[in-house]
């Protein structure tokens, strides 16, 4: 045998014996054990392979891969410091638990995005001149065409919210804002687009108490209106609240439209700026795994996350409150779709009445 043939043969043997000789169609990856199935791997237990191994993941962020029940405390550092003041106070929760709460005092003025616009001024206006409206799970731009089309949209010829020049009837003063938001709004505001401006609510503050560590209820609390109840669902990291559903039936029944801005918020003279839809505008904390980002806390101290995970799908195991559990985040909620006029359906934890 010639020496060159021998070397060739030798290299063949070595290439079939050792990985790394032929790496043209294989990229080696370090895989970490995910014993508790939360998508996070144990940094201390790994294997190197080209293809993913069963029970292993690429991530190595799991600090507790044993599967113990995780309860996450509220993290006040996630809140914007502008417009939100946080202190600690003793509190008694709705189930009688005596504990500590964070007290949030907020101006309800978001530091992370502008408020408005809400009402376009002419039927020729594009979407940048107005906000949004929500109907049957859908989000609609309130542009000039939407206002022009309202009689057809609602199959009711009484809708005519603009004059012969195409100019839209929009409330103009603070007094209009107060009067048109009244549940018994007068006929003089029929066919008005109602908007209350930030300048009307510069001196408002809101106070919310949230337990530092959530306390799970035996039976979830279903939202109700009236004394001793809470209609507020939670707060965003800018201090703006996720409010009870907007009374769209009463608003439309009075032949008014009170749009939300593109962030899903509008202003009430008493409540200030508040959200009725989570549209992804307010501060969102991306997660290191495939989970949707965090957008705020519910009043029971459990986190609220985006509706969809990074792959664009909603988790399939949500409970009636829109919550579920994982090892990273503990129990938490996924917010409802922006067109539903809703955020979460109930509180799985105790809250401050």
Nearer CB in complex with Zn ion: 166/247: 247
Spatial CB neighbours of 119, under 8 Å, sequence gap ≥ 6: 130, 131, 142, 168, 170, 171, 193, 194, 195, 257, 259
Spatial CB neighbours of 204, under 8 Å, sequence gap ≥ 6: 107, 108, 270, 271, 272
**Could you give phi then psi for residue 139, rounded to 5 degrees?**
-105, 130
Contact between 298 and Zn ion per CB under 5 A: no
Using the 8-state DSSP alphabet, how is residue 339 labeled?
B
User: What's the closest the beta carbon of residue 76 comes to Zn ion, in angstroms?
Assistant: 22
Nearer CB in complex with Zn ion: 29/325: 325
Nearer CB in complex with Zn ion: 177/246: 246
Q: How many residues bind Zn ion (CB under 5 A)?
A: 1
Contact between 235 and Zn ion per CB under 5 A: no
User: What's the closest the beta carbon of residue 165 comes to Zn ion, in angstroms?
Assistant: 30
Cβ 57 vs Cβ 65: under 8 Å: no
Nearer CB in complex with Zn ion: 91/246: 246
User: What's the closest the beta carbon of residue 328 comes to Zn ion, in angstroms?
Assistant: 9
**Could you give phi then psi for residue 127, rounded to 5 degrees?**
-65, -25
Contact between 210 and Zn ion per CB under 5 A: no
Element (H, E) at 7: helix 3-17
The residue within the footprint of Zn ion, chosen from 246, 267, 299, 350 (CB under 5 A), is 246
CA distance 344 to 353: 18
Q: How many CB atoms lie within 10 A of CB 9?
A: 11
Contact between 236 and Zn ion per CB under 5 A: no
Residue number with the smallest Cβ distance to Zn ion: 246
Q: Tell me which stretch binds Zn ion (CB under 5 A): 125-133, 150-158, 169-177, 239-247.
A: 239-247
Contact between 321 and Zn ion per CB under 5 A: no
Using the 8-state DSSP alphabet, how is residue 62 labeled?
-
Q: Tell me which stretch binds Zn ion (CB under 5 A): 31-39, 187-195, 238-246, 282-290.
A: 238-246
User: What's the closest the beta carbon of residue 329 comes to Zn ion, in angstroms?
Assistant: 6
Nearer CB in complex with Zn ion: 36/93: 36
Following CA atoms 323, 326, 329, 333 in sequence, which dihedral angle do they give, to the nearest 10 degrees?
Answer: -10
Q: Tell me which stretch binds Zn ion (CB under 5 A): 1-9, 151-159, 217-225, 240-248.
A: 240-248
CA distance 133 to 265: 11
The residues that touch Zn ion, with contacts defined as CB under 5 A, are 246
């Amino acid at each position: 045998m010639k020496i060159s043939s021998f070397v060739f043969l030798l290299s063949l043997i070595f290439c079939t014996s050792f990985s790394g000789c032929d790496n043209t169609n294989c990229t080696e990856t370090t895989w970490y054990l995910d014993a508790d199935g939360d998508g996070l791997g144990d940094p201390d237990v790994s294997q190197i392979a080209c293809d993913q191994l069963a029970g292993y993941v690429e991530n190595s962020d799991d600090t507790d891969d044993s599967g113990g029940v995780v309860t996450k405390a509220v993290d006040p550092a996630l809140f914007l410091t502008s417009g939100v003041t946080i202190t600690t106070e003793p509190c008694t929760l709705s189930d009688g638990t005596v504990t500590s709460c964070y007290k949030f005092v907020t101006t309800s003025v978001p530091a992370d995005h502008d408020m408005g616009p809400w009402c376009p001024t002419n039927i020729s206006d594009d979407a940048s001149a107005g906000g949004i409206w929500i109907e049957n799970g859908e989000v609609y731009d309130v542009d000039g065409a939407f206002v022009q089309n309202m009689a057809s949209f609602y199959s009711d010829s009484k809708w005519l919210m603009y004059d012969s020049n195409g100019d839209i009837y929009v409330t103009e003063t603070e007094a209009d804002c107060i009067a048109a938001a009244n549940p018994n709004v007068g006929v003089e505001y029929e066919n008005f687009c109602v908007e209350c401006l930030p300048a009307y609510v510069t001196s408002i503050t809101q106070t919310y108490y949230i337990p530092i560590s959530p306390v799970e209820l035996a039976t979830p609390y279903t939202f109700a209106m009236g004394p001793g109840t809470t209609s507020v669902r939670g707060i965003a990291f800018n201090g703006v609240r996720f409010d009870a559903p907007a009374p769209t039936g009463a608003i439309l029944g009075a032949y008014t439209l009170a749009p939300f801005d593109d962030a899903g918020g509008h202003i009430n003279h008493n409540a200030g700026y508040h959200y009725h839809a989570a549209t992804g505008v307010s501060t969102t904390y991306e997660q290191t795994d495939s989970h949707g980002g965090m957008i705020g806390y519910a009043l029971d101290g459990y986190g609220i996350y985006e509706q969809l995970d990074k792959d664009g799908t909603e988790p399939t195991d949500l409970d009636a409150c829109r919550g579920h559990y994982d090892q990273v985040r503990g129990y938490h909620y996924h917010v409802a779709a922006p067109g539903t006029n809703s955020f979460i359906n109930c509180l799985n934890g105790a809250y401050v009445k």
